[in-house]
Every structure is written in structure tokens, then in C-alpha cells.
Amino acid sequence: MLPDLHVHTARCGHAQGVPKDYLACARRLGLAYLGFADHLPLYWLPPEERDRGLAMPEEELPGYVEEVLSLKGRVGGVAVALGIEADYIPGFEERLRKLLSKHPFDYVLGAVHFIDGWGFDNPACLEGYAAWKVDDLYARYFELVLQAVRSGLFDVLAHPDLVKKFGYRPGTDVRGLYEEVAGAMAGASVCVEVNTAGLRVPAQEIYPSLEFLKACRRHGVPAAVGSDAHHPGHVAWAWPLAREWLLAAGYRRVVFFEERKPRFLEIT
């Protein structure tokens, strides 16, 4: 079974279940590796402006870390890893670096969920799409993704084409953007995440698209897999499709992490 590097917990304010519940599901499914990657606190905002429904408050971060660490090595058959999903916000790189350095994360997923302050993947912020031409939106999104990749802060780029979440598709050929991002990932040693949450939203497609994933493969970028579970029942979501996607792109192994070092597992 492919490792799952991307599960959330109730601490983030919009997911259900505690770490033990996710682990119980992983165990039942026979996963060898389960990585928690809950949302990092909204570090770039003043505390009073941080939406409790988007991420845990900063004072809960040590509790999250301890709770996940307490499960490490305790449960037969499943290796538990401590990850985190961190937003990339230009101009706040040092603040993020400092926050990440306080905890012994096995890996950091980098995510672009905000475009110039707009939470474009938040169902409550859909009216923001009216202000954009889709092609311009894609260009701006991938500009931020490139900055995130080059920041040196992240091990994995989470849901690389999240901008398609609500089904807005570009009118122009964006393969040049995929190519540029894939090349930057190779240059910065950032892995790509194959994220099955895209199948649970209007996009109805794994992140990233097969074209994008093939570009990553051509550049030798390792691929990780995540369900982006926000409910224990989402663990290893659509794993057979993730496997097919990887194989179709030419991948024969996937990456996971221990103390920020990449390890590889053959896809069987």
C-alpha cells in the first residue's frame, strides 16, 4: 500500500477525528506509513485575525506535535510521521522558517491556498473568482507556486494545481507553466504530491493533472502521495487511482520522509 503523507485532524477546525482515529483507519487498511500534515497556524496574520476554522491556533501547535510524536513507534505495523502543511505567503519566509525550526517535523508540505490575501480554495470565498480572468488567475497562482518551490522551505509541493479545485479551467495551453514548475522543483529538490482530494471536489481530478505529473517525472522529481484526509474515512482515499496516475506518468516508486530525509518505496 502506498504511504499516505497528508492527513489532517480536528485541531484545524474544519476536519473530524483525532490522530488515533486516523491511525486506526490506516492500520485497518494495512498502510505501512501514515504522515500527519495538519495546517500550520496562520503565522502571517496577527493572532486576532486568524480564522479558527482554517487552522489551529499557535498555542495548540506544541500539543499537535506531542500527540503525533506519542503515536510514533507505538502502533504495530504503521510508521507514523510528523508532518505539517504550511502556507506559502511571499514576504513571510523568515517567520515561517523560524516557526518550522521549533519542532522536529519529518517533512513539510508547502501549499499555496492564498492569492494576495484571497483564500481561493475556500468554499466561503467563491465570489473572488468573479474578479479574475481564469488565464490570469492560473498565471498568478503558478507564479506563487514557483516562489514557494524556490523558497527552500518545503520538502513537497502539496496539490500542485489546486487552482483547478472549483472546475475553473484555463483557456490557453498551460503546459509551459507545468514545465517551468517541474524544472524549478527538480532544481530545488522539492517533491511533487499526488493528492487524491481533487476527486472529492468539483475539479474531479487528482492533483496534479497527468500532463503536469509527466512533466515532473521527466525532470526526475520524486512523487509523494496524500489523501488530504479531513475525516478518518478519507485515509488512502482512491488509492488504486493514485497508483494508476503514478504509473501512467512513468513513476515506479514513491517518496516518504524520516527526519526530513527522503526514503523510497517501490510501487507494487
* 163: partner contacted, choices Zn ion, Fe ion, none (Cβ within 5-8 A by kind): none
- Binding to Fe ion by CB under 5 A, coded x per residue (else -) over 77-96, reads --------x-----------
Number of residues that bind Fe ion (CB under 5 A): 3
- Which parts of 21-50 interact with Fe ion (CB under 5 A)? none
CB of residue 102 vs Fe ion: minimum separation in angstroms? 21
Angle at 44 between CA 46 and CA 170, to 5 degrees: 130
Of 52 and 175, which has the nearer Cβ to Zn ion? 52
Contact with Fe ion (CB under 5 A): which of 55, 111, 192, 206? 111
- Kindly state whether residue 157 participates in binding Fe ion, applying the rule CB under 5 A: no
Of 26 and 86, which has the nearer Cβ to Zn ion? 86
* 144: partner contacted, choices Fe ion, Zn ion, none (Cβ within 5-8 A by kind): none
CB of residue 15 vs Fe ion: minimum separation in angstroms? 9
User: Alpha-carbon distance 20 to 105, whole Å?
Assistant: 18
One-letter amino acid for residue 88 of the chain = Y
CB of residue 39 vs Zn ion: minimum separation in angstroms? 6
CB of residue 172 vs Zn ion: minimum separation in angstroms? 26
Rounded to the nearest angstrom, the gap between the alpha carbon of residue 200 and the centroid of all alpha carbons in its chain is: 15
Give exposure, 216-250, as e/b (b: 16+ Cβ within 10 Å): bbebebbbbbbbbbbbbebbbbbbeebbebbeebe
* 38: partner contacted, choices Zn ion, Fe ion, none (Cβ within 5-8 A by kind): none
Contact (Cβ atoms closer than 8 angstroms) between residue 163 and residue 138: yes
Contact with Fe ion (CB under 5 A): which of 4, 87, 106, 228? 228
Of 155 and 228, which has the nearer Cβ to Zn ion? 228
Residue nearest Zn ion by beta-carbon distance = 228
* 4: partner contacted, choices Zn ion, Fe ion, none (Cβ within 5-8 A by kind): none
Positions in the binding site for Zn ion (CB under 5 A): 228
CB of residue 78 vs Fe ion: minimum separation in angstroms? 20
- Binding to Fe ion by CB under 5 A, coded x per residue (else -) over 174-213, reads ----------------------------------------
CB of residue 87 vs Zn ion: minimum separation in angstroms? 10
One-letter amino acid for residue 62 of the chain = P
CB of residue 185 vs Zn ion: minimum separation in angstroms? 17
Location of C-alpha cell 481530478: 205
Site of interaction with Fe ion (CB under 5 A): 85, 111, 228
